[in-house]
Structure 1
Amino acid sequence: MTYSIVARDPDNGHLGIAVASRFFAVGGIVPHIRGGIGAVATQAFVNPLNGVDGLAMLAAGQAPEAIVAELAARDEGRDQRQFHMIDATGRNAAFTGEKCIDWAGHLVAENVSVAGNMLAGPQVIAATLETFQKTAGKPLAERLLAAMQAGEDAGGDKRGKQSAALVVYRDQDYAWLNIRADDHADPLDELRRLYAVAGERYLHVAETMATRERPSGMIDRREIDAKIAALEAARLAEGRPSASFATPLKS
């Protein structure tokens, strides 16, 4: 009922997951990430503990292949499960149970894996992986969105569309970006709109937030406010409308 991509940007170590499904609020149960540790997507007849415990095992230093084997071995429902993961160094592994609803399977490549079940066919994950690999050099979030759209264009979830999510972590304990379309006629298009909205202000504010290395973050906000104002002025000068549905700011 779902397909997802789990990836690491080798240039900066950022981790990301994108997922789409004909299922409500898929972003609430599939993606699990810890900055500097790893990322796990758990789906099909979903077992959320594969995400929670998978991350804990990655944090303890276990290899993805060993974790996948251990999580599958302990779960009597393994034949209906699907999950895949990557660690902070790029090692990855995947599992697709024998009773996952056709079409179901996964592909694992350097710094990325794609997995899906109840899909239109193997071309869905093949197109997702190919597009991700072809977009190397672009921001991770944009690569993930493009890859998921390629999977959708190749057939996606054979039942249709309902929800999607995109989560990106840098090296902190909180997400750099976490956007979801929980119940939408075209959830991937909605994710692209939300990403555009994030680019208008949110992602710039995110640069000011506290980190372990800078526990106070950026205290003087004048620099970031000036950058946001300049971007807004450029958008207005070009006649481009905001991607946001927010009401105008009150004076």
Structure 2
Amino acid sequence: MTYSLIAKDPETGVIGIIVASRFFACGARVPCVGAHSAIASQAFSNPVWGTEGLRRLEAGEAAQEVLDDLVARDDGRAARQAHLLDSHGDFAAHTGEDCVDWAGHRIGPHHSVAGNMLAGPDVVEATFETFADSSGQPFAERLISAMEAGERLGGDKRGKQAAGMVIHRGEAHSWLDIRTDDHHDPLAELRRLYDVAGERYLHFAEAMPSERNFSGNPDRTALEAAIARGEAERRAAGRVSRSLATGAP
């Protein structure tokens, strides 16, 4: 009922999961992301695979070791699907034999894709290859574009409803966490939300505190100046705000 992409930028260590499905609020259920690892638990999803799995991955356990244990302990393993990234940069994936066709996964050195109840294997292949071929673009843009490529090949064979994207930049807290839970075109809506995030929120995110810099950059003057520069650049390029908020510039 879902397809998702986990990726890690080997240069920066940034980690992200993006998911789309004809299932309500998949962005709340599927992704579990930490500072150094991530897991997507889907199909007949077991949320404990996500919560326990992430805890163990963050503690340094290997992806395949964690996955093998989760599969062995779960009587519902045949209906589960998951893929995960450990803190060492290694991936593992499981697609149970009872996952609804088409179901499968593909793992690469820096990203993995898994899906079930899809229009066909081309959905996973297009998602995987589009991300692989887009190096040099912004990380979030690569995630969204890859999922859009999979959607063009049919995506979830039942249709569209929800999508979500979570990105961490080496911290336990997210750098960006956006989702749409019930929408006729959720990936398009996710892209709009990402565009709106770029107007103000991502400038704020750059100033957020971190474990290494507990105070962050609390200088509101610098933050407002960065937002103003971004707004000026957007207007100079002829792009209007995509925000639906009252009083959006």
Take 2:162 and 2:51, find their aligned partners in 1: how far apart are those partners?
A: 21
Partner of 1:229: 228
Residue 16 of structure 2 aligns to a residue in which SS?
strand
Q: What is residue 47 of structure 1 aligned with on the other side?
A: 46
User: What pairs up with 1:131-146 in 2 under 5 angstroms?
Assistant: 131-146=130-145
Q: Which amino acid aligns with 1:58?
A: L
The residue number in structure 1 matching 2:2 is 2
Match of 1:119 in 2: 118
CA contact (8 A) 2:62 2:88 kept: no
- Does the 8 A contact of 2:39 with 2:85 survive in 1? yes
* Segment drifting more, 52-61 vs 25-34: 52-61
| Paired residues of 1:86 and 1:111 also in contact (CA < 8 A) | no
1:69 aligns with 68
Long gaps (5+) in structure 2: none
CA distance in 1, matches of 2:211, 2:128: 33
- Structure 1 residue 89: Cα displacement: 2.9
Other-structure match for 1:90: 89
Q: How does 1:9-48 map to 2 (within 5 A)?
A: 9-36=9-36, 38-48=37-47
Q: Give structure 1 regions of 4+ aligned residues with deviation exceeding 3 angstroms.
A: none
- Paired positions, count: 249
AA paired with 1:183?
D
Question: 2: distance between equivalents of 1:188 and 1:8?
Answer: 21
Cα distance in 2 for partners of 1:4, 1:215 equals 33
1:185 is aligned to 2:184: yes
Conserved? CA contact 2:60–2:86, under 8 Å = no
TM-score by length of 2: 0.97
Deviations along 1:126-178, whole A, 9 cap, x unmatched? 00000000001222211110110000001100000000001100111111000
- Displacement of 1:57 in angstroms is 1.3
Maintained 8 Å contact 1:13/1:88: no
- Deviation for aligned residue 1:14: 0.8
Task: Assess if the C-alpha contact under 8 Å between 2:58 and 2:87 holds in 1.
Answer: no
CA distance in 1 between partners of 2:196 and 2:238 (Å): 16
Q: How far is the alpha carbon of 1:225 from its aligned partner? A: 1.1
The RMSD of aligned alpha carbons is 1.2
Q: Which residue does 1:129 correspond to in 2?
A: 128
Listed one character per residue, the Cα deviations across residues 212-239 of structure 1 (whole Å, up to 9, x for unaligned) are 1111111222122112112212323443
Q: Matched residues in 1 for 2:235 and 2:51: separation?
A: 44
The alignment status of 1:156 with 2:116, answered yes or no, reads no
AA of the residue aligned to 1:235: R
State the one-letter code of the partner of 2:132.
Q
Q: The residue matched to 2:20 in structure 1 has which SS?
A: strand
The alpha carbon displacement at 1:249 in A equals: 6.6
SS of corresponding position for 1:200: coil
Counterparts of 2:139 and 2:232 in 1: how far apart (Å)?
27
Q: Residues 165-219 of structure 1: CA distance to partner in whole angstroms, max 9, x if unpaired?
A: 0110011111100010100000000000000000111001111111111111112
Gapped regions of structure 1 (runs ≥ 5): none
Secondary structure in structure 1 of the residue aligned to 2:115: strand
Of 51-60 and 182-191, the range deviating more from structure 2: 51-60
TM-score by length of 1: 0.96
Q: What percent of counterpart residues are identical?
A: 55
**Structure 1 CA distance, aligned partners of 2:49 and 2:248?**
43
Q: Give the equivalent residue in structure 2 for 1:241.
A: 240
